[in-house]
Amino acid sequence: MRSFILPLWLAAFLSFVLPALACKQKWFIYQKEYQNCNEGVRPEVHYRTVDECLTFHNAFLELSAQTQNQFGRDITSEMQSAAAPLPPNNPNCIYYRCRVISWRYREWQTNMDNRPLPAFPGWTLVDSFYRPGTNKCD
């Protein structure tokens, strides 16, 4: 009977601790707005904005390297919305949204040391959140 207590205790302990140490997927949403509707839909503005977005992951990789890999090694950035109209109550007309995804974010690791998240000229961080579930840490 006693021989079963230790394995059961160990299994219970691991079932509570391991999920807490798992990695999560964290999303960061940046937005850039244009007041002039015609400017926001010009092809050269569109391509430049998309190109800017596709480089955002580099800043997060650099920050991750400074924070003992808190953001993980798998970080991507992609355009979420391109030249979408804003609501009528907004003074601007067109917006672009860029999504940065940290695929192996370690929420239990707090090594930011008051470091700010990356900022990009003309872009505003509008949201950040965890996706449901966990991922295997690398």
pLDDT of residue 15: 40
End-to-end CA distance of the chain: 38
Q: What is the pLDDT of residue 17?
A: 41
Render pLDDT for 31-87 as a digit per residue (tens, 0 to 9).
Answer: 999 999 898 889 999 999 999 999 999 999 999 888 888 888 889 999 998 888 999
Structural domains of the chain, with CATH:
24-130 (3.30.70)
pLDDT of 71-125, one tens digit each? Answer: 888 899 999 988 889 999 999 999 999 999 998 888 666 666 678 999 999 999 9
Model pLDDT, residue 13: 43
